[in-house]
Amino acid sequence: MDVDASKPVAIVTGANTGIGRETALGLAKAGMKVFLACRNADKAREAATYIRQSCSHIPGGQADVDILVLDLQSLQSVRKCATDFKSRNLPLHLLVNNAGVNPIHIPGPPWYTAEGVGVSAQINYLGPYVLTRLLEENLVAAAPSRVVNVSSIRHRQAKMHDPVYHDVLREKFLRDFEAASYTEAKLANILFTFELQRRWQGKGVQACAVDPGAVASDIWKRTKYNRPPWKWLAKIAFAPTWDGALPVLHAATSPLVHDDAQLQNTTASLRLFARGAFAWPMVVAPTLSEFVLVCAVALDWQIRNLSSYCWGRRRRRRKSTNRSGSSRLSNCKEVPANPIAYDANLASKLWTLSAEIAGLPV
């Protein structure tokens, strides 16, 4: 296989549809070689074709897109995906852990992996954790490199128990199938992100998390929100997938932290990005009420879309266009996470337990 060594390399998980596909498209347009890591190889090929066609008008040639098979439900599949990528002898400049699921989307009775992990924790947290750990060598080889973990506003409602004993985390988080564990899994994404930053920044690998907001992606396909009247309301309230990908792309391409003082100040280097209503002070406050969450979801896209329209009209008068209609309301910002996410003791315990379950060195 011919490899263009001048191109930075990225992997985007769950890139066959939704935010992941649009993120991969944005990275391909930026000149990166992008691997689409997806459970269904046929759908991944369809997404690759979509990306190539979308980039066909760009000067300089066709988008450089390839696929990897990755089923986050299985640690065996995660290991095989990492092995397949390593066999290509490529550095890895960017890993976007985007794929995820809400357990209410999984039909049938609760199930657990052979390691005793529930579906939400497996797909949303443990699978991405293991994939990232297995690709450490490639990320270090490409330093400065980056890991972006896609979280959710729901992480702000999560609470994790005292992590003094591993069995508490195992039973209350990793083995909890219920829908509420989705919030904990998304909090775990950020705990992992921040612990990754603490452990790997000295190796030239930096990590950040992102809240993409409420997006009309396929994650809602098997829920009540895909039936009238919820489907109509969701279409109005939720942003399109291309919009949801913009904060992810911002997190993936924003300037890396190079200031030694900031890197040594661990808290200052722990980064979470959000935009629009999801960056409002009342939303990122230490406690998030259900009412404020609903208001943020319901108003975010409408307010930004109206602002973008007005901004776009003003720009069109100047004979220029802007698809995203960028305005101050659409700017992506660094925001504080759930205060629990900064608990270094909890993050370290979660890292250790995850390593033990996956058979990885701590």
Catalytic residues: 182
Amino acid at 283: V
Name the residue with tokens 């209410």. 104
CA distances from 234 to 214, 224, 228, 295 (A): 9, 10, 9, 13
First to last CA, the chain: 35
Secondary structure in 3-state letters for 186-253: HHHHHHHHHHHHHHHHHHCEEEEEECCCCECCHHHCCCHHHCCCHHHHHHHHCECHHHHHHHHHHHHH
Class of residue 31 by CB neighbours under 10 A (exposed 0-12, middle 13-18, buried 19+): middle
Q: Residues, the chain, total?
A: 362
Residue 304 in contact with residue 327, Cβ under 8 Å?
A: yes
β pairing state of 65-69 and 33-38? parallel
The strand pairing partners of 13, in sequence order, are 37
Q: What does the alpha-carbon distance between residue 144 and residue 301 come to, in Å, rounded to a whole number?
A: 34
Of 163, 201, 165, 157, residue with least CA distance to 182: 157
